[in-house]
Amino acid sequence: MTQDSTADWQARPRVSLRLVAQAAGVSIATASRVLNDGPDKASAETVLRVREAAERLGYRPGGAAQALRRRESRIVAVLAAALINPVMATIVASIGHALRAEGLVMALCDTHEDAAIQDDFLTEMQAQNARAFVLVGAVDSPGLTRLRAAGAPLIFVNRPDPGPAPGGAYVGIDNAAAGEALARHVLALGTQRAILLHGSLERTAGTERARGIRAAFAAVPDAELIAVEAPGLDQLTGGLQAMAQVLSLRDPPRAVLCLSDALAYGAWRGAREAGRQEGFDLYGFDNLLFNDWVAPWLSSVAVDPAAFGPAVLAQLPAPRAGSRCFLPHRLHLRPG
């Protein structure tokens, strides 16, 4: 087999409707009716024959031509802030699964929290007539501002719209309520002093979580909450460095409430390397897939990842600015 270059490949003709019609022994008009207009436009036997031929030859209605003609596409653009985070990968998997059940195709982008990457993909997918834009952790960006203003179908997942006003629907947990529930649990154990270990609070998920935790502590007389900020590196390294601050306190509280499991992983390493991992109870958010396997010391606020897909799908036909779909959360306690 000779191997074409990429350019040659793109110049190749694709399987035509004419070829499919010939193979199926029907007219082009009939083949088109079956493949483009739906199965009720021909006899069952003809439908079967045309579809078999199309499948065998690898025919697809030309995506670009079809998208252009109908201004619609099977593609839903999904943007994730950090696929390296297994919780985000799981959410994305759930969304992909739900879209697929509806015959839609997820085209995914890892934005790395970078406005330029986010905008490049938004613009490219807009040019491809993507049906909607699902942002699993958006950053504010000029492209997002433009789509918001244009009334594009936007669904923000796990982190609300980072802009000044919501430009689409939100699907995720009620982060403030989750923070409050976690803090109440810790307080109910008799813990009066705790660390709030947080990263940047510009991201609204963290802001809301911290707000809920603070509210619960403020409601208890004599309870003390010491905030320690992780430096703005990645969350693992940030958690490690923040734990060094905690360890340098004269009488550090035993309970450490981390605003994400990644921060807690970093904090645990910091405690372990100081030989003090037994001295702290760590709490996190996200319930990372690996917790049950290698982090049995961590309790974490969990949401069923499989809940995301159906919730996003429910918003898809017409996501409304400001509408919020809160998924249920629960506190996953470490064993023992």
What binding mask, one character per residue, do residues 242-271 give for a second copy by CB under 8 A, x or -?
-----------------------xx-xx--
Q: Which stretch binds a second copy (CB under 8 A): 184-192, 208-216, 242-250, 291-299?
A: 291-299
> Which lies closer to a second copy via its Cβ, residue 97 or residue 193?
97
Restricting to residues 203-222, name those near a second copy by CB under 8 A.
Answer: none
> Which lies closer to a second copy via its Cβ, residue 224 or residue 273?
273
Restricting to residues 111-150, name those near a second copy by CB under 8 A.
Answer: 112, 117, 120-121, 123-124, 126-129, 131-132, 143, 146, 149-150
Q: Any idea what DSSP says for residue 288?
A: -
State in angstroms the smallest separation of the CB of 243 from a second copy: 12
> Which lies closer to a second copy via its Cβ, residue 179 or residue 284?
284
Restricting to residues 62-91, name those near a second copy by CB under 8 A.
Answer: 62-68, 71-75, 83-84, 86, 89-90
Q: Any idea what DSSP says for residue 141?
A: -
Angle at 260 between CA 255 and CA 264, to 5 degrees: 50
**211: its two tokens:** 């707000």
As a whole number of angstroms, the distance between CA 213 and CA 225 comes to 9
Q: Which stretch binds a second copy (CB under 8 A): 20-28, 40-48, 101-109, 178-186?
A: 101-109
**267: its two tokens:** 């904090």
Among 272, 304, 306, 333, binds a second copy (CB under 8 A): 272
> Which lies closer to a second copy via its Cβ, residue 279 or residue 322?
322
Among 23, 106, 225, 255, binds a second copy (CB under 8 A): 106
State in angstroms the smallest separation of the CB of 160 from a second copy: 16
Q: Within 10 Å of residue 249's Cβ, how many Cβ atoms? A: 11
Among 28, 48, 115, 152, binds a second copy (CB under 8 A): 152
Q: Which long-range contacts (CB under 8 A, 24 or more apart) does 182-187 make?
A: 182/212, 182/213, 182/257, 182/283, 182/285, 182/301, 182/331, 183/212, 183/213, 183/215, 183/216, 183/217, 183/257, 184/216, 185/331, 186/255, 186/257, 186/283, 187/216, 187/217, 187/220, 187/223
Can residue 100 be called a binding residue for a second copy (CB under 8 A)? yes
State in angstroms the smallest separation of the CB of 36 from a second copy: 13
Can residue 277 be called a binding residue for a second copy (CB under 8 A)? no
Q: Within 10 Å of residue 97's Cβ, how many Cβ atoms? A: 15
**269: its two tokens:** 């390493």
Start-to-end CA span in the chain (Å): 61
Among 238, 286, 319, 325, binds a second copy (CB under 8 A): 319
State in angstroms the smallest separation of the CB of 215 from a second copy: 31
**328: its two tokens:** 């249920």
Which is nearest to 20 in space by CA: 44, 65, 51?
51
Restricting to residues 160-199, name those near a second copy by CB under 8 A.
Answer: 167
Among 230, 311, 316, 325, binds a second copy (CB under 8 A): 316
As a whole number of angstroms, the distance between CA 227 and CA 212 comes to 14
Restricting to residues 13-42, name those near a second copy by CB under 8 A.
Answer: 14
Q: Within 10 Å of residue 311's Cβ, how many Cβ atoms? A: 19
> Which lies closer to a second copy via its Cβ, residue 68 or residue 274?
68
* Helix, strand, coil shares, percent, the chain, to 5: 50, 15, 35
Q: How many residues bind a second copy (CB under 8 A)?
A: 82
